[in-house]
Amino acid sequence: MRIGILLMIIVLALGLPIAAQEATPEPLPGCDQPSVNVVATIGMIADVVSVIGGNCVEVTAMMGPGVDPHLYTATEGDVELLFDADIIFYGGLHLEARMTDVFEQVREGLGKPTIPVSESIPEDLLLTAPQYNTPDPHVWMDVQLWMIVTEAIRDGLSEYLPEQADYFAQNTDAYLQEMEALDEYVREQIERIPEEQRILVTAHDAFQYYSRAYGIDVHAPQGITTEAEVGVQDIRATIDLLVERQIPTIFAESSVSPDVVEAIVAGARDRGLDVSIGGSLFSDAMGEAGTPEGSYLGMIRHNTDTIVNGLLGEEAE
């Protein structure tokens, strides 16, 4: 205490400038009650809208836990939701394959803001599946790409409710910091796996952005969309890979039937390789509301921990 006072006296006596402490800005209050009715297709988008929109938005996700957006068909209730919405956020890039025409009709017929958030990502950062010549829509698997989407959601909300633009920006800035920390966490965890063991085998090809961003090989017998049929040859090729590389663990997905994964496990065991299912990953849908996996940040962390624990043979914490 005395040393601190003495230093202050010296600073004042010598006329040295005192560094001004930056005041932490007061959090903006937002809205007294929700004023924007938002419909989002998948949970990952709905979660970001909820975080950015805060108390200004009421968000409804059309597709809940375990629902596959590639195969989803609009119901009569969905049409009513879209009709009542102020803003609609969807993935785009052919993620909601059977819904694309519906969104275009809503945009053109009702004039509502209908925003394909993943299409905000620069084209040169997108991956394309050669067999479909179509962009891979699973961009949320790379946290840095999902940060671009987060900013697009902020911009969409701000354009609709400009008087709350500062509030949306404040929420976005805080959330982007959490996303930066998550991105670093994923990198650190994947690096714990020896390079020769960094092979993620799962049912459908939803993890290519994760592969590119975090340095882990990914193999899946089914393509980027679950609309594609899985052939016997695809399953055999996956079994060959497991046996050749002696990969002991593969992973199921929460929104995809486990039949393919179970067939691969059985086939590998017939050839003398004891393969286990290392857990279930969240690919096209998040977990149940109220669980850690029921948020985007929690979903990516769960996937990473499940992959690392499975490939290292460690117990989940």
pTM: 0.85
Residue 298: predicted pLDDT? 98
Please report, in angstroms and rounded to a whole number, the separation of the first and last CA atoms in the chain. Answer: 43
Residue 292 makes CB contacts below 8 A (sequence gap 6+) with 298, 301, 302
Average pLDDT of the chain, as a whole number: 86
Predicted confidence band of residue 16 (pLDDT cuts 50, 70, 90): very low
pLDDT tens, residue by residue, 211-241:
999 999 998 876 555 445 566 788 888 888 8
Segment 101-118 mean pLDDT: 90
DSSP, res 286: -
pLDDT at 1 over 80: no
**CA-to-CA distance for 158 and 185, rounded, in angstroms?**
30
Of residues 178 and 21, more confidence is placed in 178
Of 36-50, 150-164, 210-224, which range is least confident? 210-224
